[in-house]
Structure 1
Amino acid sequence: MKGIIFTEFIELVEREFGLDVLDSILEESKDSGVYTSVGSYDHKALVSLIVSLSKKTEISGEQLQQVFGKSVFKNLLKTLPAQATLNRCSNTFQFIRHVEDYIHIEVKKLYPDAKPPSFEFISENETQMVFDYKSARCLSNVCFGLIKGCSDYFNENIEISTENQTEDQSHVRFSLMLST
């Protein structure tokens, strides 16, 4: 997993919960907290940090992943070059499609060893989108948060439901419904 995910998480914990909480979860996880945005790290370290934060804050790991996903979305927008086709998206569904068709492809070009999640689109119309999220890292709740951040950005009310396709959550079906 790319280090930028780790640096984003550490910044989020410090900003939202404070330096004392960050130090505490790093200590509990036996984690130095030293990451570079371009480095590659085992995703299990991030999972360990999320579990420690969940224990410390009594907020479920799923909720924490979703909050993290929303935060990552905001920062993702800031990093997009002005000419990126993603900047021309006018709604959540277009943006999600472009994540698979643009961002994941660009990530692989920049970092050949990267293994971003994949989206397999099942169906889509103006008010509904169904796609499968597949990732060996099993962080579908981060994806959930990214979608929430995206729908907030486009000022759309999107109802999100998920259905695990595998027990380990490496394959999760997302059903999105635009509601008025």
Structure 2
Amino acid sequence: MHGTVLMLLKRYVQTQYDHSTWLKLMELSGLENVEFDHKTVYPDENIYALVGQAAEMTGLSAGELHEKFGEYLVPDLMFMYQKYVQPEWKTLDMIEHTELTMHKQVRREHPENSPPVLNVKRLGENELIIDYVSPRRMSGLAVGIVRGLATYFDEADRIDVMPTTSHDGERVRIHVRRT
């Protein structure tokens, strides 16, 4: 997992709870001596440990935490990748173009990093299907990002996001529709 994501997770925990919660989470995860930075790619086990401990601490499932974190990530992602975003794009357009713009750039600049593959099929002007593929099994993050994009583009009340397969698989189908 790229260090930027882990640093944003730290900020998320600190803003939703507090700094002492982050320290406790790091300790319970066995990561109290790890200092994340934005240039390093860390073992995926780090985020699994952190999210697993956070699930125990909050009583939420890992999938729910991934979704909440995904929503939180969107403003930062939009800032980081703003040069790839066309001004006329809205939620569905962003999803449709993520693989060939942002993910392509991540893979080019950081070959050691591996964002999920998003095979997107546009079904019409107001509907698409995302086939999320990743051995990380973190499709909840993708669902949260879709919801966060809808909020970012002021479409939250018009976007329906429905995973249509098990949310914890390597391959997850997500149906997105604008009403």
Instruction: Provide structure 1 residue ranges, at least 5 long, that are not aligned to the other structure.
Output: none
Q: Distance in 2 between matches of 1:85 and 1:168?
A: 29
Match of 1:12 in 2: 12
Task: Write out the 4+ residue segments of structure 1 that deviate beyond 6 Å after TM superposition.
Answer: none
Identify the residue that residue 110 of structure 1 maps to in structure 2.
Answer: 109
Name 2:132's counterpart in structure 1. 133
Which amino acid in the other structure matches residue 73 of structure 1? V
TM-score after normalising by structure 2: 0.91
**Partner of residue 38, structure 1:** 39
> Per-residue deviation at 1:60?
2.1
* Residues 91 and 154, structure 1, Cα contact 8 Å, conserved in 2: yes
Q: Distance in 2 between matches of 1:123 and 1:90?
A: 14
The residue number in structure 1 matching 2:26 is: 26
User: Unpaired segments of 5 or more residues in structure 2?
Assistant: none
**Matched-pair contact (CA < 8 Å) for 1:89–1:95:** no
Counterpart position of 2:173: 173
Which residue does the alignment assign to 2:68? 67
Q: What number of residue pairs does the alignment pair up?
A: 176
| 1:37 partner letter | H
Distance 2:144 2:36 in 1: 23
User: For residues 140-155 of structure 1, what are the structure 2 equivalents within 5 Å?
Assistant: 140-155=139-154
Give me the whole-angstrom Cα distance separating, in 2, the residues matched to 1:86 and 1:178.
20
Stretch moving more, 155-164 or 129-138: 155-164
Q: Identical aligned pairs, as a percentage?
A: 21
Who is 1:124 aligned against? 123
- How large is the Cα RMSD of the aligned pairs? 1.6
Post-superposition shift, 1:47? 1.3
Tell me if the contact between 2:74 and 2:152 (Cα under 8 Å) persists in the aligned partners: no
